[in-house]
Each structure stands twice: as structure tokens, then as C-alpha cells.
Amino acid sequence: MTAVFQVQNLNKAFGGLAVTQDVSITMNPGDRVALIGPNGAGKTTFVNLVTGHLEPDSGKVLLGGNDVTSLSPTLRVRQGLVRSFQVTRLFPDMTPEEHLALAVMQRTGRTGAIFGHYQAKPDVMAEVAELLRTLGLDHIATRKVAEIAYGQQRLLEIALALALRPKVLLLDEPAAGVPQSDTPRIEAALAGLPADLAVLMIEHDMDLVFRFARRVIVLAAGAIIFDGSPADVTRDARVREAYLGSYANDRSAA
């Protein structure tokens, strides 16, 4: 299998502080990887380097074998590297249907058209309906986003990413801020992601990580200290020390 996403020897320092140190990751289609690490481990910096919002000091980012290190964030999205946001970023005055229609039309290069209406485009409407159904949002398709529940907004955030038909999906804490009662729906949505999609999830909730990921990468002080299966991660001494130690203790205490 050919790698769809590769990060090679990425380095970034702010002043004298190295926040990303020689990070390399390779992902294949269908991968389900969780990126974890304590606060300040450099997860956000890593995401910004990968999406192109920060420029690395050295190293490369490759998408489907193409070097995208010098491309703008927007162009990386068009090449199939799509992210979701930790804090929901949606258009409060627009409906879920409008969000998804806009994303589908953007992907298919039709947002430049100054005439016409998305509801008059059968292919757009069909795809939007399919996405709404998949994520269980069809009953609120025409409500304003400001009026729908936060859990539903999180689902729309995922739907919006899928509407762009990514090759690689970066999920930034997809369940953050969602009430406990709604997390099963988010997890179901994550379980239902396209099988050939490579997913890299940044997540704090370890229960979610263990249910979702088939591979876990642990970042500490800007460097990868573990890359392996979820079963092994809790047994790794360095990980315990850097991160899971306190968590494991909390768990046993509770």
C-alpha cells in the first residue's frame, strides 16, 4: 500500500524553544491514528505545521507522494488534507444544508458562479441529503446552526469535512465539549467514516482514543516518544512517565 500522508523529520522552534523535534509519521489509506500527549506537548503546533498555518524550520509534508510543504493551507485542502476544528467553526446564520451545499460546490469548483441556486443542482442536493442522512442531521437540515444543539454542531463539523472528500482527515478533539449523552452519536459517526480515509485524531479523552484508534502516537515535548498499538501504549514506560502515569493513577483511584 502506498502512503497517502507522510511527515518527514519535521522541526520547528520558537526562539530557542524546540516545539516540534524531528517528527515523522507515515499513514496509509484507512489508517485510524490517534495523536495524544500532555498539554504543551506540541500537538497544536504539529497540526498547524501539517495544515500549513505554520512554516517548519525543516522537514517535509507529503500528500499522496506530492510534497506540499510550500503550499498554502487552502491549496493543501484542495489536495485532500482536511481538518475539523476543536472549537466548532460554523456559520451561525446558515443551515446545515447550506453548509454542506457550499462545501460540495467548493470541492467541485462551482462557488465562483454568480448566478444559480444550490437547490437547483440535483447532484449537490443528492450529496447533501446523503451526508445529512449518514450523520443523522436530516431532521434539522433547514434550521439555523445557531439554533441547533452543540452535539449536532459537532456532527455537522464532521459532515463538512467529509463533504470535501478528503484523503487525509485531521480531527481535532471531535468530541470536545459534547455532553456525555451525545458522545455515542459522535463515536458512531467516527466509526462510520469512509473505510479508505486516513484519519488522524487529536484527542484527550482516552476512552475515545482506545475505542477509535488502531494506532496511537504519543507526543511529549515536541518529539514522538511512542508509535504503536493501543494495547502497548499503556505498558510503555516512557509514556507512563510522560503522560499516562497520572491518568492511570486517576483511573485506578476511581
Partner 1 sequence: MAAIETTSSAKPGAAARPNWLMRDLLGLAVILAVAAIGYFLFPNNLALLTRILGVALLVLSIDLVTGFCGVATLGHAALFGAGAYASGIAAVHFGITDPLLMVVVGAFGGAVAGVVSGAVILRGHGLAQLVLSIAVVHLFHEAANKASAYTGGSDGLSGIAPDPVFGLFAFDLWGRTAYGFAVALVVIAFVVLRLITRSPFGMLCRGIKEDPIRIRAMGASVQGTLLKMYVISGAVAGVGGALNAISTQVVGLDSLSFTLSAEALVMLVLGGTGSLYGALIGTVSFMWFEDFVSAANPFHWLTIVGALLIAVVLFAPRGLYGTALALVDRFRRTGK
Residues at the site binding partner 1, with contacts judged by CB under 8 A: 73-75, 77-78, 82-83, 85, 89-94, 98, 101-103, 105-107, 110-120, 122, 125, 160, 164
Q: In this complex, which beta carbon is closest to partner 1, that of residue 5 or of residue 243?
A: 5
* Shortest Å distance, C-beta 199 to partner 1: 16
Q: In this complex, which beta carbon is closest to partner 1, that of residue 105 or of residue 140?
A: 105
Q: In this complex, which beta carbon is closest to partner 1, that of residue 38 or of residue 73?
A: 73
Q: If we measure between CA atoms, which residue out of 110, 109, 9, 96 comes closest to residue 57?
A: 9
Q: In this complex, which beta carbon is closest to partner 1, that of residue 94 or of residue 176?
A: 94
**Phi, psi (5° rounding) for residue 114?**
-90, -5
* Shortest Å distance, C-beta 105 to partner 1: 5
To the nearest 10°, report the CA torsion of 133, 138, 142, 148. -110
Judge whether 60 and 110 are in contact, CB under 8 Å.
Answer: no
Sheet order of strands, 5-14 included: 17-27, 5-14, 58-63, 66-67
Q: State how far the Cα of 201 lies from the Cα of 168, in Å rounded to an integer.
A: 11
* Shortest Å distance, C-beta 119 to partner 1: 6
Query: Can you read off the three cell numbers belonging to residue 63?
Result: 500528500
* Shortest Å distance, C-beta 82 to partner 1: 7
Q: State how far the Cα of 90 lies from the Cα of 142, in Å rounded to an integer.
A: 15
Residue found under cell 443523522? 136
Degrees (nearest 5) of the Cα angle 49, 18, 54? 20
Q: In this complex, which beta carbon is closest to partner 1, that of residue 15 or of residue 122?
A: 122
* Shortest Å distance, C-beta 107 to partner 1: 7
By the 10 Å C-beta count (0-12 exposed, 13-18 middle, 19+ buried), 237 is classed as exposed
Q: In this complex, which beta carbon is closest to partner 1, that of residue 101 or of residue 135?
A: 101
* Shortest Å distance, C-beta 79 to partner 1: 9
